[in-house]
Amino acid sequence: MKKIMLITTAAAALLSGCEASDSNPLLGEFGAPHGATPFDKIKNEHYLPAFRYGMDEGRREVDAIAGNADAPTFENTIAALDYSGASLTRTSGVFFNLNEAETNPEMQQIAREVTPLLTEYSNDITLNEQLFGRIKSVYDSADRSALTPEQAMLLEKTYKNFTRNGAGLSEADKVCYRELSSRLSTLKLDFKQHVLNETNAYALNITDSSDLKGLPASAVEQAKETAAKKGLDGWAFTLHQPSYTPFMKYAENRDLRRQLYTAYNVKGNQGNKDDNNETIREIVNIRLQTAQLLGYKTYADFALEERMAQNTANVSNLLSELLAASKPFAQKELAEVQACAKRHGADFALQPYDWAFYSEKLREEKYSINDEALRPYYKLDNVIGGVFGLAEKLYGITFRENKKIPVYHPDVRAYEVYDRNGEFLALYYADLHPREGKRSGAWMNDIRDQHRQNGYDQRPHIINVCNLTKPTDSKPALLAFSEANTILHEFGHALHGMLSDCTYPSLSGTNVYRDFVELPSQIMENWGKEKEFLDMFAEHYETGEKIPAEMIEKIIASQNFLTGYASLRQLMFGMLDMAYHTIDKDLAGSIADFEKAAVARTLLLPAVEGASVSTSFGHIFSSGYASGYYSYKWAEVLEADAFSVFKKNGIFDEATAASFRDNILSKGGSEHPLELYKRFRGQAPTIDALLQREGFKN
């Protein structure tokens, strides 16, 4: 196997010439309020020295644990290891958040230099025989009855982390494992960068105003400003969601919809320097080789061992059951949209670039409602205020914006979060609008985790990053209904981080099973369709008029609009993910052919030439959802079942909210998620609430 070069000559010179010092704002104490990151002082040249310092410090701490002359115990081995590497964790938290949200070519190069070094650092720990010997000694001899549930979980997790990352391999296989893991870390970075490059490179430039027919004034105004910023005449539509989605829903020019749809769906599949086909093949094959090196038949077998689903059979059963339930409804929905298109003069079979356009017309016909009618009632500041108000009603927490806290971009807002007793709970950052330095999508991260050590409770610093409609010169940011749902979803993740009350860093916040992590986020979306919640904030941005009751009734009535089709789309992603990760031989042949076979059961519309889900499927090829995309559907089962308790007791019921906070949000990964869920719900989850809510069951 080809040996991987770990660091370039240029980077080595930079590292050797920039030693850690008091002048590096990433090192030492952060002087901003609540230990906030000094974003205003950090420059790109500070990162590599801080990474080097953090890795050196971490290695010294690990060597001290491994070489401790005292007999191994939970405290001097397991807990000590979990608390080690604090400086590196802090630097990584800052850098990798910014490399996603506010990157530049220099940061991207730093990421390419440091990622293999971090992989090597991690491997040096998990492949350390002396250290693993101490961990195994504690694992084999521990009196688990004397441990708290959280301690028992940390012991189990630490031991498995080592065995699942090569600790039990032969020396020759450890060398192979190192090379595979190092190469994989670089490939994932490549995949992500290719998608960002292609997203930023494209703009649909329109110079004839007749081609804007059907588009709402807000989308036209945004496009005019975008064109001006790009130095173009006329109007420019990009592949960022606030630009792409309104165009696909409302633009009457079918050929331009086809052009924009195609550009969006061929990212990473154009045979250029940013093509991801071979990157995918190598990622999938390395994952398989690594899993088989560790004794598993497939990568999915390896990954699902640490999931609620447990094995591929359970995932397959869930996806198949939901496919059987949703496909008949999706087929009926397709016929409805096709009939609507015919009523509007379309004498052709629907193509994927027609779906959003004609389904939006059908929604207007059935419910007399659309996103543009709702936007005036979804002013961004009001939505944020409503979400904060919901958190206060449910959990008693309050948010205070503090403009003295440094941020990394003018769009970012920073808030102090306080518990009902007035104690400081967290810092919360909101970064909500698209720009070229930010990848697409929406996510939550922690810049600093929560944990307790030596009597001190380190409170977390949490960030939500989205790509929502921006304000224009004449209007504030007015959101689509789906964008408001995005805020609720990501804020649910944020609550999971902010309300964490754990002892150990690796178990706190969102450090939970992948198919459990979406429960706190997806359950929040339910409130977005509740009248009592909408009445809290939804008012016209110009007149101050509350959203009319009949409009709320239409929102509620339309909540099951095209749910079959939406379910089928999510199942398509989940089945494609599982197809890639249940192979037991190296992936060969065409990526396009593999994808076509994997998703055939879920498709209702014909494929567009060159379109590929795989080549921009960042969830599984550059993030942490490999063999885990099914978790969105898994979590839908959990959240529908859990929200049924709120519906029964009252959507603002304090006792229900307190139980959800105490048993789910505050516990992180300190206990098995099924036990936490049953403690809240009183029973294991069932699929019934989801099928009923989606309209698949009376």
Catalytic residues: 490
- Measured distance CA(26)–CA(20) in Å, rounded: 9
* Residue 457 · residue 448 · CB < 8 Å: no
- How many of the other CB atoms lie within 10 Å of CB of 164? 18
Rounded to 5°, angle at Cα 193 from 190 and 196: 155
- Measured distance CA(623)–CA(360) in Å, rounded: 32
Amino acid occupying residue 379: K
- Measured distance CA(545)–CA(548) in Å, rounded: 8
- Residue 446 has which token pair? 């922690």
* Residue 193 · residue 276 · CB < 8 Å: no
3-state secondary structure 603-616: CCCCCCCCCCCHHH
* Strand intervals (E) in 175-304: 204-206, 235-237
- Residue 437 has which token pair? 């330095």
- How many of the other CB atoms lie within 10 Å of CB of 587? 17
- Cross-strand partners of 236: 205
* Residue 608 · residue 260 · CB < 8 Å: no
- Residue 478 has which token pair? 């007015």
Task: Find tokens 């696909």 and name the residue.
Answer: 248
Query: How far, CA to CA in Å, does 147 sit from each of 74, 140, 144, 663, 670?
Result: 9, 14, 5, 19, 12
* Residue 613 · residue 270 · CB < 8 Å: no
Query: How far, CA to CA in Å, does 418 sit from each of 394, 423, 451, 504?
Result: 14, 5, 17, 22
- Residue 140, burial from CB neighbour count under 10 angstroms (0-12, 13-18, 19+): exposed
* Residue 57 · residue 423 · CB < 8 Å: no
Q: In what order do the strands lie in the sheet with 413-418?
A: 398-401, 413-418, 424-431, 461-465, 443-448
What are the φ and ψ backbone dihedral angles of 331, each rounded to 5 degrees? -65, -40
- Within a 13 Å sphere around the CA of 134, how many CA atoms are in the beta-carbon half? 26
- Measured distance CA(685)–CA(672) in Å, rounded: 14
